[in-house]
Amino acid sequence: MSAFITGTGLFVPEHVITNDELVSSYNCYVEQYNSEYSDEIKSGKREELKESSVEFIEKASGIRKRHVVDKDGVLDSRRMKPRIPGRENHEMSLQCEMAVAAASQALDNARLGGEDLDMIIVACSNLERAYPAVSIEVQERLCASGFALDMNVACSSATFAIQAASDALNNGSAQRVLVVNPEICSAHLDFRDRDSHFIFGDICTAIVLESDESRKDSDVFEVVSTRLRTKFSSNIRNNFGFLNRCDDNLENRKDTLFIQEGRKVFKEVVPLVSNHILEHLYQIELAPERVRRLWLHQANLSMNQLVAKRVWGRPANADEAPVVLDHYANTSSAGSIIAFHRYNKDLSDGELGLLCSFGAGYSVGSVVLRKINSTL
């Protein structure tokens, strides 16, 4: 048996924050902070904050703008976090709302309805509640049967979920699986941190996978092979959790939001990811030059360029390794799926591509895909 990607979907929040807007807000906060604590800064008890700039952001990341679920709260220099009011239990949760929107598009592309699904995985870096699972709420809203589960492997959640879905299809425990990635990264980002305030955006992606027996469409991508790897590191970390309320000294802990050692991450992740991809290709006896396209995790432009160069032994062009982070920023697990969603229609029958995610953990997931465009 084989697994096939038969549809993808994308939900994009309407609010957009440009680098100019973000820098203006951040620098206003810096001015307020340095003025409020001027005496402590002069005495050496506090460090003076430095302003950010558009040039710094674009050179460090390649990001130019990002979509967010709330713009005003983020740009309010006295608040600097999104305003997301809580919802009543009978109302659809925000992540479910995003998931249903992206899933509906993916199902339309696969020529299916929610009732055709028998497995749903909500896979993302942050889930808005512990239970009931967001995936079960999505299942209810889509009128799907079978079962649903939530999964968190940070930025690699989507590729890990694709392997879980493929395994379920191959062992017969499911016929049609929805993988959905509702990422609200703005809620875990410290917009008061100069080194990371520009990194993330919000979005939701969705993928429908089907077995060979159940698929209706001939224009699909076959999941040829998957490979996962994890290696513990605290260089990307978020310590927010249910135990936080038990810590009486929580107020000044910045690590309950996203934190990272950027230089260490770059130095360690690039060889980890490029070696992982090359080992995966070697394992299935596939030469790197046979890979038509890399759909890489969208975290940092320089990182993606270097990974692609190590895989192919030469610099890659925008067609071979498309970049979407300039428009969407880092969207955690959804990044590589956005790239796949937007840049897969031009592959010819039989051509191969590789989807790869990497992030906190460290975690790396790679999925080799073959375009199939032939009569069923």
Catalytic positions, written as ranges: 155
C-alpha 102/C-alpha 203 separation (Å) is 9
C-alpha 177/C-alpha 65 separation (Å) is 32
C-alpha 79/C-alpha 98 separation (Å) is 24
C-alpha 114/C-alpha 112 separation (Å) is 7
Contact 342, 140 (CB under 8 A): no
User: How would you class 90 by CB atoms within 10 Å of its CB: exposed for 0-12, middle for 13-18, buried for 19 or more?
Assistant: exposed
Answer left, alpha or beta for residue 150, where phi above 0 means left and psi between -120 and 50 means alpha.
beta
C-alpha 298/C-alpha 336 separation (Å) is 6
The structure tokens 């135990």 sit at 243
C-alpha 332/C-alpha 297 separation (Å) is 8
C-alpha 148/C-alpha 120 separation (Å) is 5
Q: Which residues pair with 221 in a beta bridge?
A: 5, 371
C-alpha 59/C-alpha 353 separation (Å) is 28
DSSP code of 371?
A: E
Structure tokens at 180: 């959905």
Give the three-state DSSP class for 307: helix
C-alpha 373/C-alpha 224 separation (Å) is 15
Looking only at the bridges linking them, the beta strands covering 259-260 and 15-18 are unpaired
Residues 6 or more apart in contact with residue 35 via CB below 8 angstroms:
none
| Cα separation values, 294 from 205, 220, 227, 290, 318, Å | 18, 17, 15, 11, 10
Structure tokens at 345: 């229609």
